[in-house]
Amino acid sequence: MRRFSRNAIAGGASALMLLSGAVAQAQNAATADTLEEIIVTAQRRSERLQDVPVTVTAFSAAEIAQARLRQLDDISSRTPGLNFDAFPTSQPRVAIRGIGSSDRGAAGDPSSAVFLDEVYLGRPAAVAFDAFDVSRIEVLKGPQGTLYGRNVVGGAINVVSNRPDLSGTDAGIEATVGNYERLEGAGFVNLPMGEKWAARASGAWRTHDGYVKNSFTGGRVEDQDTRSGRFQIYGEPSETVRVLLGVDGTRDRADGPAQHVLDLDMTDSRRALWTVNRDRTVTAGSDEGYQDRDTWGVRGQIDWDLSFATVTYLGSYRDLDYHVAYDFDGGHPPANRLNIAGGNDEDSNFSSHELRLNSLPDSAIQWVAGLYNFNNETDRLDTLVIDQGRPATEIYTQVAKLNSYAAFGDVTVPLNEQFSVIGGLRYSKDEKDYRVSNTAGTAVLRGTGRFDVSTSDSYDAWTWRGGAQYKLDRDHQLYAMVSRGFKSGGFQDTPSSAADAADGFEPEFATQYEVGQKSSFLNGRLIWNNTLFVMKYTDLQTKRTLPNLSIVTENAGKATIKGYETQLNWSPFAGARLSASYGYTDATFDEFAPEPGVDYAGNRISRTPKHKIVLSPSYEAALGDGSSLLFATDYRYESMIFDDNSNDGPERRDPTHFVDARIVFTPAVGQWTLSLWGKNLTQEVSRTHQTVFLGANFGSYGPPRTFGATVSWRM
């Protein structure tokens, strides 16, 4: 690996200088616009995106607003290496570069994490936010083991809200109407309170009718009724002290999800129980189901500038109340001779404390050191109902408690004006207590008998990163980085026996080797970044459905994930923009024998496409009266995906092609804009989740074509 890194850096430097010279001859600054510079905090300090020696996909506030990036699936669709899966949609599963977790049990953790204003959202259902009035969204690829308090083995998504501004009053509103009876409203206001304090409030309300008709009940499912709000107070009581206090919350109400029998499992005689229904617009479940979610949190941060560093305390508390129930098979007799239903009820609260010391912005050596504590308590019910004339209900009761502690440090040392070395170290320890029982239901469906088991364990690890950064000049850099991440072990959410309940799964580790190049050409009108990476993944935690219907998480041995990512942003002439990105991810198992006689070595890791392409051209035409008209299109392609690690059977998704577009009118006078937009204009029918169960492949589809108009006003 060492020889590969040296050769890559030397070859990259030569190619970069040749390309830079060729591009310089073609410069014509009078005909194009400089691209926006994005400031990120991927290394826990403010830096230009082009200066950060790691792979980061970042979305600015302007791009988020214009492209209607509202929730996590919108971000995933435009980010190579990032994939989003949810069943139901209120419990999203995030995977970055092939590393994700399907475990949603009370004693499990996500492998790729989401942070809201630096606060870790520790449960899948807690990943609920509205990307309105945000400053930026950052997607960090690979282990983040030394800079973030909580375990991050696959990658991190950072959502950064706009803070209150002391400089003046500001406000904005937007309203949207669209098909499926879509109605949306959002707004914010920023109010200074004297010279040293300011307050900012923002909120959003989004509704639409269901995308799918339930032919049995007569209603519609997959609708939306979401309300989000955020209130912050920021102050600078002295020249060296800054205070930020905030509270936010989201309320979700929806019916569904809409399930379908997508395929029959021809290896299972029970396939005769089911009738295939691939009509994306219609489901026939015995009830419409519900997805109810309420989550809120408070956050406090104090920054104090000392003579040599800034000390920061960040504390948070979050609460989640979550309830979901659904018809799993999406049908009723006589088409489906068996009715399968289920759901989850969860009450979680989690708190965190972080104390860190950062070097000052003008320090020659940039460093950060900190202590971190995360606490989580979760009560969860997992319900399964199987009805063939007489319903039988099995309920798993899960109670989990987690206490996590960490100490971390990271430093960047410049050896001269161009070359810097980077190193970081982190120690983590997680303590978990868990109780699981299946004594509450009327039957035992997934196991061999009733049980009530209490168990506990602790997990600890050292993680690290080390690398080098070489800056040819302000516009060009090369970097190489090795980083190691860790995610603690846990316990089964629906074990089949008392022995399985007491026997948990082990931690997983990932070590990533990455070399990259970031360049800006044509006086900032062309940005081109490239990354090559290899990741060694050991003891990865995978989920599997057993013949007795129990779903377990197990450690899968070893895997290798390798790939290439490229990002190009170009302003070829005045008003024109092109954003293009491509990600290649080859994620395969090296060792994985889930049971005697079964070998998955060489298989692809589930839910990981090999190829992902995003193309976003746009052109803003200046009209004669000083107003302008923007035309923009987004094209996205993903190659085929396996939904099961066996790579067999019907659990696979065909390649997808999505096209979105928008036209934005901005008048010469005034602060308002009008946007006409459409998503999935070609009516691509895509599967978003599927699993084989009792002789059939059950699953759900992505949204159909949607379109609408949005009016925005800014003070």
pLDDT tens-digit map of 397-452 = 999 999 999 999 999 999 999 999 999 999 999 999 999 999 988 989 888 889 99
Percent of the chain residues past pLDDT 90, beyond the cut: 70
Written as one string, the DSSP assignment of 602-670 is TPBPTT--SEEEEEEEEEEEEPTTS-EEEEEEEEEEE--EESSTT--TT-EE--EEEEEEEEEEE-SSS
Lowest mean pLDDT among 60-69, 253-262, 283-292, 568-577: 60-69
**For residue 282, what are the contacts with CB-CB under 8 A and spacing of at least 6?**
212, 213, 214, 215
Residue 622 pLDDT grade (very low, low, confident, very high; cuts 50, 70, 90): very high
Beta-bridge partner residues of 559:
537, 589
**Alpha-carbon distance 266 to 696, whole Å?**
8
Q: Using the 8-state DSSP alphabet, how is residue 318 labeled? A: E
**Is the N-terminal amide bond of 257 cis, ω within 30° of 0?**
yes
Question: Can you identify the CATH homologous superfamily of domain 2-714?
Answer: TonB-dependent receptor, beta-barrel domain (2.40.170.20)
**Alpha-carbon distance 376 to 151, whole Å?**
14
Whether residue 30 is predicted with pLDDT greater than 90 in this model: the reply is: no
Whether residue 129 is predicted with pLDDT greater than 50 in this model: the reply is: yes
Residue 26 pLDDT grade (very low, low, confident, very high; cuts 50, 70, 90): very low
**Alpha-carbon distance 445 to 441, whole Å?**
10
**For residue 318, what are the contacts with CB-CB under 8 A and spacing of at least 6?**
119, 121, 122, 126, 295, 296, 297, 298, 349, 350, 351
Closest C-alpha to 30, from 571, 519, 579:
571
**Alpha-carbon distance 340 to 445, whole Å?**
12
Domain boundary assignment for the chain: 2-714
Mean local confidence (pLDDT), 241-246: 98
Beta-bridge partner residues of 191:
199
Whether residue 490 is predicted with pLDDT greater than 50 in this model: the reply is: yes
pLDDT of residue 31: 52
Mean local confidence (pLDDT), 486-497: 90
pLDDT of residue 32: 64
Q: Per the structure block, which two tokens stand in for 494?
A: 């629906």
Whether residue 8 is predicted with pLDDT greater than 60 in this model: the reply is: no
Mean local confidence (pLDDT), 346-366: 95
